Amino acid sequence: MNSQKQATSALISVFSKDGLAPIVEKLHALNITMYSTGGTEKFIKDLGIPVVPVEDVTSYPSILGGRVKTLHPKVFGGILNRQNNESDVAELAEYEIPQLDIVIVDLYPFEKTVASGASEEDIIEKIDIGGISLIRAAAKNFADVLCVSSVNDYGTFLNLLETQEGNFSIEDRKAFAAKAFNVSSHYDTAIFNYFNKNHEIAALKISENNGKVLRYGENPHQRGFFFGNFDEMFEKLHGKELSYNNLLDVDAAVNLMNEFTNDDPTFAVLKHNNACGFATRATIHQAYVDALAGDPVSAFGGVLIANKKIDKATAEEIHKLFCEVVIAPSYDEDALKILKGKKNRIILIQNEVALPEMQVRSCLNGVLVQDKNAKTDVLEDLTYATNNKPTDAQLEDLLFASKLCKHTKSNTIVLVKNKQLCASGTGQTSRVDALNQSIVKATNFKFDLNGAVMASDAFFPFPDCVEIAGNAGIEAVIQPGGSIKDQLSIDYCNSANIAMVFTGTRHFKH
C-alpha cells in the first residue's frame, strides 16, 4: 500500500460545476492529465484547458441518452488496479488502460428532485448509476486513488491540492474514502426510502449528514450528538450552544405549538418536555403573563415559545425570568435588544419546515418506529355522553385542554379554564394520582377550579376521577371513552351535573 503517492491523472464527471474551475486550473498547473465526459468535458474545454474525452479511452460513445458513459473496463480498470500488484500493472499495459489517480464525482441531485415535486420519470432519471459506481470503485481502491465524491468537498480537496501539490498520503486517501462511502450510502438510502415510502418492506434506513457533537448527553457523563438540519428549521439569533436537553424541550415546544399555529396569540412555557404554563389571549403579552401564572416555579430554566411576534412589553416580562430558550416566528427589534441582555439566553426564530411523519426511538436491542400522532381532536369527533351538554365556551376549553393533553406525558390529566392551563398531572402511574397532582398544583397557585374543564389522555376505568373532579369544581370533561365501565362515570356526571364528551381517540405519550 503506497503511503505517499503523486497523482498524474484525474477523471472528472460531475453534476455541479460550482467551485470546479479552480480545481481544474490547479490540476492543469500540476500537469495532471484530465479525463472527462459530457457536460463536464465541455466545461473544462471552455476554460481553455486540455481534457481527454473518455470516449477516446473506451472507443465507445456516450449511449442511451447519456445513461452509459463511464461504465467500461478501461475506466474501471484504471481506477481499481492495484499499483503494487504486478499482474494488475501488466494487464493495464496489455489492454492500454490509463491509470487514474484522482476521481472527482458529484452525483445527480436525487433528493432535491424528489423534494421539488418532479414527476416520477424525472426522479428516476436522477438516480445516478455511473457516478455512484465511480465513487465506490475509487473509494474501495483508496490505497492508490483519491476520491472526491461531492461538491461539498471541492473546497477541502482544492486546499489539499494546493498545499501538497498533488502528493497525497494514505491518510488523505482513506479520509476521502470515508467521505465517499458516506455519500454513496446516504444516496442509496434516499432512493430506497423513495421506493419504500409506504413501508411495504419492513426495513428501517435512516441517513443524516448534518451531525453535531453536543457538549454532552442527558447528563454530563454521557456523550451526545444531534443529527439533522437545525439551521433549516431555526435561525439562532443569540445565546449559548443548545444542549441535548434543550433540543428535547425545543422539540416538545414546537410540536405543542404546532397545534395552535393559526390561533389567537398563544404562549407556552415548557419544562422537561411538558407544558407547565399555557394560555391563549388577545395579545401575546397577556398570553405570556397568564401562561407564566400557571406555574411560575417550574418556569425557572424552562423553554418559552410563542405563536406570534414577541413585542417589547412581552420581552420585558420574559427578561425577569431565567429561561434557557425563547422561540417565536419573529421579534420586534427593541424586544430583541432586551432579550439579548442575558448572554446565555438562546433566542430562536422558527421557520416553517415540515417535520418527520415517523417517530423513531431505541428499544431493547433494536428500535421502535411509529406514525407520528397527527390526530387532533376536533368538534366533529365528539360524542355527548351525558344528559348535560357542554356550553360553547366549555367546548372551546375542552378542545384546548385536549390538545395540551396530547402533548403531555402519560398518565396525564389537564385542567383548563378560559383557555389557560391551570395545572396538569404528568407522567403518573395512575390517573387518580395525575388528577390529584393537578388539583394540588392548581390550588397552590391560587386557581379557582369552579367552572374549569378536565382532559384525560385515556379513558376512566372507574368513576373515581370524575368524582374527584366534581368535588374540585370541574364542570366539563373530555376523554376518549371506551371503558367497559364507562357508564359508571357517565352516571356520576349526570348526578353531579357535569358535562362529559368522548373523543374516541386515546393520546398516550410515553
Fill in the amino acid letter for 262.
Answer: N
Give the residue among 358, 421, 394 at the shortest CA–CA distance from 477.
394
Dist. CA 291–CA 221, nearest whole Å: 34
Catalytic residue among 272, 312, 340, 342: 272
Cα–Cα nearest to 92, from 108, 104, 75, 107 = 75
Sign of CA dihedral 124, 126, 128, 129: positive
User: Does residue 245 have a cis peptide bond before it, meaning omega lies within 30 degrees of 0?
Assistant: no
SS3 label, residue 43: helix
CB-based contact 280:263 (threshold 8 Å): yes
Q: From CA 54, how far away is CA 202, in angstroms rounded?
A: 41
| 65, 90 contact by CB (below 8 A) | no
As a whole number of angstroms, the distance between CA 304 and CA 328 comes to 9
Gyration radius from the chain CA atoms: 31
Among the options 17, 28, 74, 140, which is catalytic?
140
Nine-digit cell at 140? 474501495
Q: Which residues of 443-471 are buried (b: 16+ CB within 10 A; e: fewer)?
A: eeeebebeebbbbbbbbbeebbbbbbbbe
140 is catalytic: yes
Question: What DSSP character marks residue 133?
Answer: H
Angle between helix axes 38-46 and 20-29 (nearest 10 degrees) is 70
Query: Got the DSSP string for 46-77?
Result: HTT---EEHHHHHS---BGGGTBSS-SHHHHH
Amino acid at 215: R
Distance, CA of 260 to CA of 485 (rounded, Å)? 33
- Residue 348 near residue 234 (C-beta atoms within 8 A): yes
Question: Catalytic residue at 510?
Answer: no
- Residue 60 burial by CB count (10 A; 0-12/13-18/19+): exposed, middle or buried? middle
User: Is-contact 389 499, C-beta < 8 A?
Assistant: yes
DSSP bridge partners of 236: 348
- Residues known to be catalytic: 140, 272
